[in-house]
């Protein structure tokens, strides 16, 4: 089945060819005809499957007919994070180049004035994070009664971030007769409930087993002691064919310290985490996309959905605490048919995390023995290769190293980094000591109304949700202001 068979307009087909796509992906094949027919849709699809184009493409053709009205957007796309919202906006620009549609992006961290001006003119597409949208709605700056198409993207992520009450409220402000599309990587019961309540006779499609990992990604677990993490990561970065890499850490302090340490060692690295202001985060992403830096040290703020072409490697400096974060993190490589490699450093304390990851993904991840530490469940401490026992680690490496990867030298060859003593203390925080980790609200710990981002509080949950209106400090990128093809 080709794009032409899906019922899309010639203008859109020409933009798709311009984007370099030859065939629709499975989620596009299944979703596009249903959306064009006006049906509600539940799509269980992960990022990396082409799901954004699965709703953006038919939306462009649907909205191609009709006119905008001041303050009344014709369609609304809800995204859990600012980065994802900005990315969907980029998709509209790319695919909508032959259409005269107007768009506004409504996200926290950007001055409201420009966003309000765009809305006042009237927009075909409004892309928003729930917190900022509720804020503007409560100020009477927006009417959702003309909004006949709603997309709830990354619904399970919205749930994790405590946005479901906002989404329910937003749904009640839209006209009852509308088309609603819900995209989610998984379908936990609260999302099913939301769909039952707000979607009308939806078609359900599923394109990948929830939480399955991409077969194009060669995955490795590297047993390591906490003290050796820095030197192991440097050896992996040096020894493998790393072109561009994202290194994930669980805590913001680790992200900052690791980035500094890598820079001191001469790597071209940058960082992204929830303590940074939005313009800084976007600027850092931009440097990474442009190739000014080739290593991005990140917290889970960057794990989901971000689509950066050609990331050859993902490193988990810390094994993620939530197994679904593993799937999202490594999904930053091996995108759009490319191959990728992931390495997850695992200390003996991570045994349970690793176990949970393997249970969720349904596969045992191959071990790469770099002599740093025994895998917690495989070997007792005393069987760890001794310093200088290079023959053992070299042999193990030769047997286990992936065919394409250049084998790293043994860790015993690496000088001890002075910062490693600090790294050793970076243990998983105890229940009452989580101030430095990237907070991820648990499903059962939804924020109280007043804690939610739009409630005017200066508190920010972790920076990846819709934070306070702290203004835009730098030049606004073109895609953040108004948008493609002004009427
Ligand atoms: P998404 O799942 O929306 O994050 O998309 C993942 C990547 O797939 C993005 O880089 C898209 O540009 C790319 N993509 C989307 N549709 C296609 C297609 N039909 N053929 C090739 N690449 C695509």
Q: Whose CA is nearest to atom 11 of ligand 1?
A: 50
User: Shortest CA distance to 162 belongs to which of 469, 481, 486, 459?
Assistant: 459
Name, in order, each residue with C-beta under 8 angstroms of 5's C-beta and a sequence gap of 6 or more.
none
Q: What is the mean pLDDT of residues 266-282?
A: 87
* Residue from 26, 31, 48, 52 to probe ligand 1 pocket by mutation (most atoms less than 8 Å from CB): 52
Give the span between the Cα atoms of 386 and 372, in whole angstroms. Answer: 10
Residue 408: its pLDDT value, please?
A: 33
Task: Answer whether residue 147 shows pLDDT above 60.
Answer: yes
Contact 461, 453 (CB under 8 A): yes
Give the span between the Cα atoms of 340 and 217, in whole angstroms. Answer: 5
Distance between Cα 415 and ligand 1 center (Å): 42
Task: Answer whether residue 192 shows pLDDT above 80.
Answer: yes
Q: What is the mean pLDDT of residues 372-380?
A: 47
How many helices (H) and strands (E) the chain has is answered by: 16, 14
Task: Answer whether residue 404 shows pLDDT above 50.
Answer: no
Identify the weakest region by mean pLDDT among 86-95, 299-308, 428-437: 428-437
Q: What is the mean pLDDT of residues 171-188?
A: 94
Residue 34: its pLDDT value, please?
A: 97
Q: What is the mean pLDDT of residues 223-236?
A: 92
Instruction: Please report how many Cα atoms fall inside a 13 Å half-sphere around the Cα of residue 17, on the Cβ side.
Output: 10
Residue 240: its pLDDT value, please?
A: 64
Predicted confidence band at 302 (pLDDT cuts at 50, 70, 90)?
low
Find the angle CA(154)-CA(85)-CA(166) to the nearest 5 degrees: 60
Residue 207: its pLDDT value, please?
A: 86
Give the span between the Cα atoms of 264 and 260, in whole angstroms. Answer: 6
Residue 303: its pLDDT value, please?
A: 55
Task: Answer whether residue 166 shows pLDDT above 90.
Answer: yes
Cα 378 off chain centre by: 32
Q: Is the pTM of this model over 0.85?
A: no
Reported as type and span, the H/E element at residue 58 is helix 51-64
Residues across the chain: 487
Reported as type and span, the H/E element at residue 149 is strand 149-152
Bridge partners of 179, per DSSP, are 149
Distance between Cα 13 and ligand 1 center (Å): 15
pLDDT mean across residues, the chain: 75
Distance between Cα 89 and ligand 1 center (Å): 14
Ligand 1 pocket residue status of 208, Cβ below 6 Å: no
Residue 118: its pLDDT value, please?
A: 82
Residue 425: its pLDDT value, please?
A: 29
Ligand 1 pocket residue status of 51, Cβ below 6 Å: yes
Max mean pLDDT range (370-374, 396-400, 425-429):
370-374
- Phi and psi, residue 125, nearest 5°: -130, 125
Burial class, 429, CB count within 10 angstroms (exposed 0-12 / middle 13-18 / buried 19+): middle
Ligand 1 pocket residue status of 108, Cβ below 6 Å: no
User: What six digits make up the tokens of 289?
Assistant: 């996309």
Domains 3-206 and 217-367 equal at CATH topology level? yes
Q: Whose CA is nearest to atom 20 of ligand 1?
A: 21
Residue 32: its pLDDT value, please?
A: 97
* Residue from 20, 50, 88 to probe ligand 1 pocket by mutation (most atoms less than 8 Å from CB): 50
Distance between Cα 161 and ligand 1 center (Å): 25
Domain ranges of the chain: 3-206, 217-367
Distance between Cα 480 and ligand 1 center (Å): 21
- CATH superfamily, domain 3-206, is P-loop containing nucleotide triphosphate hydrolases (3.40.50.300)
Give the span between the Cα atoms of 320 and 95, in whole angstroms. Answer: 35
Q: What is the pLDDT of residues 420-433, one digit of tens each?
A: 323 332 333 333 33
The secondary structure of residue 418, as a DSSP letter, is T
Ligand 1 pocket residue status of 46, Cβ below 6 Å: no
Q: Strand order in 203-206's β-sheet?
A: 103-106, 125-128, 75-78, 149-152, 179-184, 41-44, 203-206
* Alpha helix segments (H runs only) across 65-217: 82-95, 112-121, 130-138, 155-160, 164-173, 189-198
Predicted confidence band at 208 (pLDDT cuts at 50, 70, 90)?
low
Q: Whose CA is nearest to atom 14 of ligand 1?
A: 50
Q: What is the mean pLDDT of residues 60-84?
A: 89
Ligand 1 pocket residue status of 308, Cβ below 6 Å: no
Choose between 165 and 359: higher pLDDT.
165
Predicted confidence band at 335 (pLDDT cuts at 50, 70, 90)?
low
Task: Answer whether residue 483 shows pLDDT above 50.
Answer: no
Give the span between the Cα atoms of 132 and 466, in whole angstroms. Answer: 6
Contact 182, 43 (CB under 8 A): yes
Task: Answer whether residue 442 shows pLDDT above 60.
Answer: no
CATH topology for 217-367 is Rossmann fold (3.40.50)
Distance between Cα 90 and ligand 1 center (Å): 13
Residue 205: its pLDDT value, please?
A: 95
Q: Whose CA is nearest to atom 6 of ligand 1?
A: 48
Q: What is the mean pLDDT of residues 376-385?
A: 38
Q: What is the mean pLDDT of residues 63-77?
A: 88
Distance between Cα 28 and ligand 1 center (Å): 10
Distance between Cα 54 and ligand 1 center (Å): 9
Task: Answer whether residue 48 shows pLDDT above 90.
Answer: no
User: What six digits make up the tokens of 337?
Assistant: 């048919």
Q: Are strands 103-106 and 41-44 parallel, antiparallel or unpaired?
A: unpaired
Bridge partners of 271, per DSSP, are 297
Q: What is the mean pLDDT of residues 338-364?
A: 86
User: Shortest CA distance to 232 belongs to which of 107, 408, 378, 67?
Assistant: 408
Longest dimension (CA), the chain: 74
Identify the weakest region by mean pLDDT among 82-91, 109-118, 326-335, 450-459: 450-459
Ligand 1 pocket residue status of 460, Cβ below 6 Å: no
Task: Answer whether residue 114 shows pLDDT above 50.
Answer: yes
Ligand 1 pocket residue status of 47, Cβ below 6 Å: yes
User: What six digits make up the tokens of 348?
Assistant: 């003996």
Task: Answer whether residue 399 shows pLDDT above 90.
Answer: no
Ligand 1 pocket residue status of 334, Cβ below 6 Å: no
Task: Answer whether residue 188 shows pLDDT above 60.
Answer: yes
For residue 25, the ligand 1 atom closest to its alpha carbon is 19
Identify the weakest region by mean pLDDT among 21-25, 90-94, 260-264, 453-457: 453-457
3-state secondary structure of 209: coil
3-state secondary structure of 151: strand
For the chain, give the percent of residues with pLDDT over 70: 72
Predicted confidence band at 245 (pLDDT cuts at 50, 70, 90)?
very high
User: What six digits make up the tokens of 7?
Assistant: 């019922």
User: What six digits make up the tokens of 471?
Assistant: 């203004």
Task: Answer whether residue 318 shows pLDDT above 70.
Answer: yes
Residue 310 to residues 302, 313, 340: CA-CA distances in angstroms?
15, 9, 9
């Amino acid at each position: 089945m080709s794009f032409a068979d899906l019922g899309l307009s010639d203008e859109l087909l020409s933009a798709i060819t311009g984007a370099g796509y030859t065939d629709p992906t499975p989620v596009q094949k299944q979703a596009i005809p249903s959306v064009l027919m006006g049906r509600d849709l539940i799509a269980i699809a992960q990022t990396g499957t082409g799901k954004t184009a699965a709703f953006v493409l038919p939306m462009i053709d649907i909205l191609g007919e009709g006119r905008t009205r001041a303050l009344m957007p014709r369609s609304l796309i809800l995204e859990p994070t600012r980065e994802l919202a900005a990315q969907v906006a980029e998709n509209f620009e790319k695919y909508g180049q032959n259409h005269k549609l107007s768009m506004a992006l409504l996200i926290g961290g950007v001055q409201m004035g420009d966003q309000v001006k765009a809305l006042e003119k009237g927009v075909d597409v409004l892309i928003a994070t729930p917190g900022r949208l509720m804020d503007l709605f409560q100020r009477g700056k927006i009417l959702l009664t003309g909004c006949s198409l709603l997309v709830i993207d990354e619904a399970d992520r919205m749930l994790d971030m405590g946005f479901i009450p906002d989404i329910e409220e937003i749904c009640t402000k839209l006209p009852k007769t509308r088309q609603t599309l819900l995209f989610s990587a998984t379908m936990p019961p609260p999302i099913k409930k939301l769909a039952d309540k707000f979607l009308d006779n939806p078609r359900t499609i599923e394109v990948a087993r929830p939480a399955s990992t991409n077969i194009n990604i060669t995955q490795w677990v590297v047993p390591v002691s906490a003290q050796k993490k820095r030197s192991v990561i440097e050896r992996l970065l040096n020894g493998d064919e790393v072109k561009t890499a994202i290194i994930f850490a669980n805590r913001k302090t680790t992200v900052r310290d690791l980035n500094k340490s890598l820079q001191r060692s001469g790597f071209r690295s940058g960082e992204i985490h929830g303590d940074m202001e939005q313009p800084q985060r976007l600027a850092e992403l931009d440097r990474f996309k442009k190739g000014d830096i080739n290593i991005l040290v990140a917290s889970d703020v960057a794990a989901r959905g971000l689509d950066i072409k050609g990331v050859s490697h993902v490193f988990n400096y810390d094994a993620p605490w939530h197994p679904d974060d593993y799937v999202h993190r490594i999904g930053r490589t091996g995108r759009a048919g490319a191959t990728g490699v992931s390495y997850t450093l695992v200390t003996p304390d991570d045994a349970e995390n690793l176990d949970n990851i393997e249970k969720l993904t349904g596969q045992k991840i191959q071990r790469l023995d770099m002599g740093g530490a025994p895998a917690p469940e495989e070997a007792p401490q005393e069987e760890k290769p001794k310093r200088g026992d290079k023959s053992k680690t070299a042999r193990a490496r030769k047997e286990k190293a992936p065919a394409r990867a250049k084998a790293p030298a043994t860790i015993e060859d690496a000088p001890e980094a002075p910062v490693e003593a600090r790294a050793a203390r970076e243990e998983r925080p105890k229940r009452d000591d989580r101030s430095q980790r990237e907070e991820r609200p648990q499903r059962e710990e939804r924020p109280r109304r007043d804690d939610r981002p739009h409630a005017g509080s200066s508190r920010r949950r972790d920076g990846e949700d819709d934070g306070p209106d702290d203004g835009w400090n730098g030049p606004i990128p073109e895609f953040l202001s108004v948008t493609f093809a002004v009427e």
